[in-house]
Chain A
């Protein structure tokens, strides 16, 4: 099933708020997970696993390092689900 960019962004906001305690309102496409949102490497693993469960996609470990920003993750998930 195709996912819209807006749906995925909304889902990631919820997940990052749950996992890292970052208010959803401050999570935007251009935000860097590490530098802007202070999601550390362990929490990033949690974000990835939660995204896989929620969106029914597979995010290989070697791709995770490419997902620097929220927008990178949204695009990857939208493409993977297409």
Chain B
């Protein structure tokens, strides 16, 4: 059983850069920003007036009646999962008892929760929708996709704040490795652009307040970075046991080699400046994948554009990769997408799969003055060609609570 290998056979996404994978990837390579001023009046309540909303509203792709029973995070999950399933060849005849769904969210249906509290106050208990609980539960996105696909191997939702999306993919990977499933729809979503969560993040001083230039606000590794930009949307992968994928003639993008999971035991929100948890997670991901630092040519960094986080991560990467960091093209795509919280590790995994396919590392935008404390090789402004032959890439994701998740992807 230990010989079971896991490959990626389908991709889906709805992001601030595009309503699907192709449009998102194109905008990402072009260095476009998905960050815009909010149009809602409530922005005036906050010190932050901008965010990265999805480029395409779910309403453009869903029936109205379906939408009213789904939280926005569940809508994103269905939109991206339908794309990924179709991209995987719509394998509707797979054994449903060997089909799983693992989709994460950092906060769950927070907009539903807050909207229904308003209904309760204004109309009383009769005014609260009977769909409230299925809409606000964090496992709602996974459950709705599982229902649609009739998945019966297990439907799961790991929650680890901003590492949730990556942890979901890692969980799905283990399910296939451990022979619980042959094919899994996995990823992460988030829909938290609302005055309350934004006020909470702002109170932590975690958000950029660059209101005069929203598209320049998310600037990982730049000296003048002042916080992250909240984004929304999600990314989904169909992952599959290698022989299962081959047997049905599926298009295979790449292999997921392994994952590394650690926790800091340091602080509820601040990164450990020593970064030992991150370093150990990278080491475990490489060990579990049978890779060495020499094999890694690309890394999609967590890099949210916070003053403390970016440098702590960069230092940990340098320590973990040593001199081999010199040949690792590091991309901080949150400079364009904003930070999708529980969706981040998932869309960034989609980006790595595309990077391995096209042999292009996407750019990092908005670096005017690279922070001299950052000693890794950051891809700036334009995409960078990746080498031919067998290559591998890492995606690292961290979450409040001290969660560290590293996923390793290999070309095939």
Contacts and interface: CB of A to CB of B under 8 A. Distances in A.
B225 to A, nearest CB: 45
A49 B65 contact: no
B53 to A, nearest CB: 26
Interface residues of A, number: 9
B267 interface: no
A21 B130 contact: no
A46 B69 CA distance: 11
Given A49-B126, A52-B126, A42 B131 contact: yes
B248 interface: no
B358 interface: no
Nearest to A22: B65
B129 interface: yes
Interface residues of B, number: 12
Contacts, number: 20
Interface in B62-88: 63-66, 68-69
Interface in A26-82: 42-43, 45-46, 49, 52
A24 interface: no
A42 B70 CA distance: 13
B127 interface: yes
Contact of A21 (B63, B127, B129, B131): B63
Contacts of B69: 42-43
Nearest to B129: A46
Interface string B186-227: 000000000000000000000000000000000000000000
A20 B130 CA distance: 13
Contacts of B68: 19
A42 B64 CA distance: 17
Contacts of A45: 130
A19 B66 CA distance: 10
A21 B134 CA distance: 19
A42 B130 contact: yes
Interface in B84-135: 126-127, 129-131, 134
Given A20-B65, A21-B63, A43-B69, 8 more contacts: A21-B64, A21-B65, A42-B134, A43-B130, A45-B130, A46-B129, A46-B130, A52-B126
16 contacts: A19-B65, A19-B68, A20-B65, A21-B63, A21-B64, A21-B66, A42-B69, A42-B130, A42-B134, A43-B130, A46-B129, A46-B130, A46-B131, A49-B126, A49-B127, A52-B126
Interface of A: 19-21, 42-43, 45-46, 49, 52
Interface of B: 63-66, 68-69, 126-127, 129-131, 134
